[in-house]
Structure 1
Amino acid sequence: MKKADIFEFYRRLAEANPDPETELAYGNPYQLLVAVTCSAQSTDVGVNKATKALFEEVKTPAQMVALGLEGLKNHIKTIGLYNNKAKNVIALSEILVRDHGGEVPADRDALEALPGVGRKTANVVMNTAFGAETFAVDTHIFRLGNRTGIAPGKTVIAVEKALEKSTPKPFRVGAHHWLILHGRYICKARTPECWRCPVADLCRFKPKTPAPKIKSAKVQTE
């Protein structure tokens, strides 16, 4: 996609949603870190349901350590891979208390050193909690980058690097959220809803998906 088209792509998404936000519910950077760690292979809706009561009780790493592994499992047992996620959350909480004064570090390398925290999770936390210009590439953004032509790449890292290179300055902080929301609700995996997409004319995807046909009601006769 050409530089001018990329700018217009983001401009339209920003116009439609000036203040994009994550759909994960959280109250502080630590709770965000926990939520994102729990979100792997789970929906944001499912994570929010599991963490609602948890986050009313636990707001700091020290409180999570005090809750303990079994206590945490009871809260998040409705989400996938909860056993492993619970172990990671307790372990990273212990490290935050021991090495970081109970605070979430605003540093990607330090975040990636925590149990259960990969590059994508670190990028989300850096962007959402600290306003860093990072690009967390999940399945939605990977698909969108390649399908639209805004950031093509054969690997997640390649798409991330392409986004870093091509995303214009005014849109760098919000880009992650605009792209993931667009991929989640309009540029869907199986059937992209091109007929209602605000950037369809800029997108390189062909053929564009037409609007679904409205079935006409049959006239009943006696």
Structure 2
Amino acid sequence: MGVNVLDKLVTGHKWNNVFYGTTTRYMAGVSEPPFDSFNLGLHCGDNPEHAQANRALLNAALPNSPIWLNQVHGTEVLDADRPFDYPAKADAAVTTCDKKVLAIMTADCLPVVLADEEGTIVGAAHAGWRGLQAGILERTVDLMRSKKPNAHFKAWIGPAISQKVFEVGAEVYDAFVSQNSNLAPFFEPGVVNKYFANLSGIANMKLKQIGVNMVEESNECTYLDKQRYFSYRRENPTGRIVTLVWKGV
């Protein structure tokens, strides 16, 4: 696979001094169905040796091995500039160090990457609906602002489940709308007590509410695009894609 793996990542607009992107499932990996072929998750049911081999293929194209997180759908943000126990129990990470690779693993949840305009700090967050509602994006930006108080931040929202196939119960609608009534338009009513939620749109609005005004949505759906992405809602067990970001390119 070599360094060409980076050319195959799903990404957005080019950022100054920052590289970011998301892997896809049919990169040249070794995992067998239903994890075929480039699964990077170690705890999703795949043969661990296959997942490790895929990680080794990815690592060969990166400036450093990724900082893998123990993601728990929470709101802890790792300050990767400081010493930490590995793997850190967190759902986001931030660094100002060159070529320190942050990684977020998903199979429907939102991967969100952030950076300042000068490319002096980067962040990455795992935002399922629970983490998104509880403030994982706000906490990530808070940590970035504590390190770069005068910076202007931008964000890219990577491949995730889209509104047309993400059906949730009334408890999810209530959790968001009771917190902020302006989020109601991101829920399309379905059958009784069911809604179709636009997580990417909610993330976009939440980011802009805290001053991250440059937000790009990938508009890639993990559920609908089986040729490119794993989807936990579409098939379980399934593999995991990874969204990467680092500065100092």
Instruction: Select the structure with the greater relative contact order (CA < 8 A; seq sep ≥ 6).
Output: 2
For the pair shown, the structure with the greater C-alpha radius of gyration is 1
**What is the TM-score when the length of structure 1 is the normalising length?**
0.24
**What is the TM-score when the length of structure 2 is the normalising length?**
0.22
Structure number having the greater strand percentage? 2
